[in-house]
Amino acid sequence: MIPARRRAALVVGGASGIGLATVWALQLEGCDVVVADVNVDAATAVADEFGDGVTAMGLDVTVEQSVADVMTASAPLDVVVNCAGLSIPGAIAELELSAWRTTIDVCLTGTFLVLKHAAAAIVDGGSIICVSSLNARQPGTGMASYCAAKAGVTMLVEVAALELAPRGVRVNAVQPGFVDTPLTEGVGFIPGLRQDYLDNTPLGRAGTPEDVAATITFLASDQTAWMTGAALDIGGGSHLQRYPDVLDRVRALMAPG
pLDDT tens column, 109-121: 999 999 999 999 9
Q: How far apart are CA 88 and CA 99, in angstroms?
A: 6
- pLDDT attached to residue 2: 56
The CATH number of 8-182+207-240 is 3.40.50.720
- pLDDT attached to residue 26: 98
Mean pLDDT in residue range 21-32: 97
- pLDDT attached to residue 36: 98
On average, the pLDDT of the chain sits at 96
Q: How far apart are CA 56 and CA 18, in angstroms?
A: 16
The H-assigned helical ranges of the chain are 17-28, 40-50, 64-74, 97-104, 110-121, 144-164, 193-199, 209-220, 246-254
Q: Which residue has the higher pLDDT, 18 or 251?
A: 18
Q: Which of 249, 122, 256 is nearest to 197 (CA)?
A: 249
- pLDDT attached to residue 14: 98
Q: Which residues pair with 80 in a beta bridge?
A: 10, 128
**Total Cβ atoms within 10 A of residue 227:** 15
Q: How far apart are CA 41 and CA 35, in angstroms?
A: 11
Residues 6+ apart with CB under 8 A from 12: 19, 36, 37, 59, 61, 80, 81, 82, 83, 84, 114
- pLDDT attached to residue 58: 98
Residues 6+ apart with CB under 8 A from 182: 16, 17
24, 146, 178, 243: the active-site residue: 146
- Kindly state the percentage of the chain with pLDDT values over 90: 95
> Does residue 123 carry a pLDDT above 90?
yes
Active site residue 197: no
pTM of the model: 0.97
Phi, psi of 80 (to 5 degrees): -125, 130
Q: Which amino acid is at 224?
A: T
